[in-house]
Chains A and B, each alone.
Chain A
């Protein structure tokens, strides 16, 4: 039992660290993306600012801050200003329940490696991501221009459709773990089969669910090949056509923060979270779980970028047909079979 004051102080410290780390990760995933896509297309990517262009995110940030912030005269002003803020708020909120490791004791305080440990963490993340669509939809509407409105409409239709298969793909994992708590779900994936294959959910009956999740998550974060809401060949820049300077940067940050959330969630639910081979000295044993978690998240982000550099974009009717005629039945079938197997076993 801890007192309210110590709870508030510890939570504040953890929140500041988490937001700082997340925003840095966002900045460097942009750098990573430009670098990797550059190499895929036989270019160098950013090289001028700092060694290997490592200071490029900093330069970009300064540029965004000092650019002129244009508000077009025809917009609905209140919502036009609120929309990017909503996007960023919802994108940053979901990190608060994501655990990156086990409990630790630092300076006499015993605390989990996450901002707050709640037993409905997964519901919170789903709720927050489902609210995230408002940022995009309102940006499209309040800009009061054709391209933006079409982008916003596409985004809301796409995100509502793919949210269903996303949610259904997670239920299989929930049935196997028997809990909404991300910590319990990770704990249910410890151990190995036959001495070498880890008991992660992706190898343990939820392979199909993982791929359904992967594709729905790509669509939820508006990434290639599902980036119809901002398809530049048809819609200029989609919902953020009328935005400039820091407001545009906020949409950008929200998109990458969402990518990182999705990568964390995939790691926790399907790839065994912080479980991995642990050896060596005491301090190594303490650090390695966090290292494994971050390494898995990094691999997932790399996959994101890799696919962006490889695949062309869907057509809109293909996108919708894919969600409703392929992913949705597949997710339902996976759910029924998982439920049946778990019921027969118990």
Chain B
């Protein structure tokens, strides 16, 4: 069956992701911010699904929305709300923020223009992996082409875990 109402779902999911992102920084209650972040992550998973990347979508939900955010919430739930609501929500580092935002925006615009120009120039269709072998392709890339980067990332995580244990335990 061919996909139905693709633009509708794309704009719906993108809108939800943006809405969630805005809510994360405007809510005063940290628990509400965390929930808005979960909304963004879920909408992103939907977008991955629309790109025929079901494995990435699944991992996005299981790891980010279902794993990491639970730990976020776990910590936030222990924070006293009355106290946090009296504090200032935003700090006053306007200049740094502005520079960062402009740089990031320029990067996005450049990538978008480049990719569109490149796409028009060569007339090449976007790379499409068949849905069936998507998981396998990811595994081949991860453990074949990008083996070294993958192992370095794992090592970094291992160091972080050991660091956390060392800091938590007085006597090892």
Task: Tell me the A residues contacting B by CB distance below 8 Å.
Answer: 1-2, 4, 7, 76, 79, 118-120, 123-124, 126-127, 129-131, 133-134, 137-138, 140-141, 149, 152-153, 156-157, 159-160, 163, 167, 180
The residues in B between 3 and 50 inclusive whose CB is less than 8 angstroms from any CB of A are 4, 31, 35, 38, 45
The listed residue with most A CB atoms (<10 A of its CB), out of B59, B66, B74, B135, is: B66
Q: Interface size (B, Cβ < 8 Å)? A: 25
- Do A133 and B135 contact each other (CB < 8 Å), given the known contacts A4-B4, A140-B77? no
Contact yes or no, B74 A130, CB < 8 A: no
- 11 A-B pairs within 8 Å (CB atoms) are namely A7-B1, A79-B31, A118-B54, A123-B55, A123-B58, A127-B58, A129-B66, A130-B61, A131-B65, A141-B77, A160-B70
State A141–B80 Cα separation when bound (angstroms).
11
Residues of A within 8 A of B78 (CB): 153
Contact yes or no, B74 A157, CB < 8 A: yes
State A131–B74 Cα separation when bound (angstroms).
14
Residues of A within 8 A of B54 (CB): 118-120, 123
Residues of A within 8 A of B57 (CB): 123
Residues of A within 8 A of B65 (CB): 127, 130-131
A178 to chain B, nearest CB (A): 9
- Do A120 and B31 contact each other (CB < 8 Å), given the known contacts A160-B67, A160-B70? no
Contact yes or no, B62 A130, CB < 8 A: yes
Contact yes or no, B74 A156, CB < 8 A: yes
State A210–B14 Cα separation when bound (angstroms).
40
Question: What residue in chain B is nearest A126 (Cβ atoms)?
Answer: B62
Q: Is the CB of B71 closer than 8 A to any CB of chain A?
A: yes
Contact yes or no, A123 B74, CB < 8 A: no
Contact yes or no, B135 A180, CB < 8 A: yes
Contact yes or no, A153 B74, CB < 8 A: yes
Task: Tell me the B residues contacting A by CB distance below 8 Å.
Answer: 1, 4, 31, 35, 38, 45, 54-55, 57-59, 61-62, 65-67, 70-71, 73-74, 77-78, 131-132, 135
Residues of B within 8 A of A130 (CB): 61-62, 65-67, 70
Residues of B within 8 A of A180 (CB): 55, 135
Contact yes or no, B66 A119, CB < 8 A: no
Question: What residue in chain B is nearest A128 (Cβ atoms)?
Answer: B61
Contact yes or no, B61 A127, CB < 8 A: yes
Contact yes or no, B1 A4, CB < 8 A: yes
Residues of A within 8 A of B58 (CB): 120, 123-124, 126-127
A contact patch SS: helix
Contact yes or no, B74 A127, CB < 8 A: no
Q: Using A130-B61, A138-B35, A180-B135 as known contacts, list a sample of 9 further A-B pairs with CB atoms less than 8 Å apart, ordered by residue number in A.
A: A76-B31, A123-B58, A127-B45, A130-B62, A130-B65, A134-B73, A159-B70, A160-B67, A163-B66
Residues of A within 8 A of B62 (CB): 123, 126-127, 130, 167
Residues of B within 8 A of A141 (CB): 31, 73, 77
Residues of B within 8 A of A157 (CB): 74
State A156–B72 Cα separation when bound (angstroms).
11
Residues of A within 8 A of B1 (CB): 1-2, 4, 7
Residues of B within 8 A of A119 (CB): 54, 131-132
State A75–B120 Cα separation when bound (angstroms).
56
Question: What residue in chain B is nearest A178 (Cβ atoms)?
Answer: B136
A31 to chain B, nearest CB (A): 32
Residues of B within 8 A of A159 (CB): 70
Contact yes or no, B77 A131, CB < 8 A: no
- Do A131 and B73 contact each other (CB < 8 Å), given the known contacts A4-B1, A4-B4, A123-B55? no
Residues of B within 8 A of A138 (CB): 31, 35, 73
Contact yes or no, A131 B132, CB < 8 A: no
- Do A137 and B66 contact each other (CB < 8 Å), given the known contacts A119-B132, A126-B58? no
Residues of B within 8 A of A134 (CB): 38, 70, 73
Contact yes or no, A156 B55, CB < 8 A: no
A120 to chain B, nearest CB (A): 4
A33 to chain B, nearest CB (A): 28
State A284–B96 Cα separation when bound (angstroms).
73
State A118–B54 Cα separation when bound (angstroms).
10
Residues of B within 8 A of A129 (CB): 66
Enumerate the 3 nearest inter-chain pairs by beta-carbon distance, A residue then B residue, closest first.
A130-B66, A123-B58, A127-B61
A134 to chain B, nearest CB (A): 7
Question: What residue in chain B is nearest A8 (Cβ atoms)?
Answer: B4
Contact yes or no, A133 B55, CB < 8 A: no
State A101–B61 Cα separation when bound (angstroms).
28
State A167–B67 Cα separation when bound (angstroms).
12
Residues of A within 8 A of B131 (CB): 119
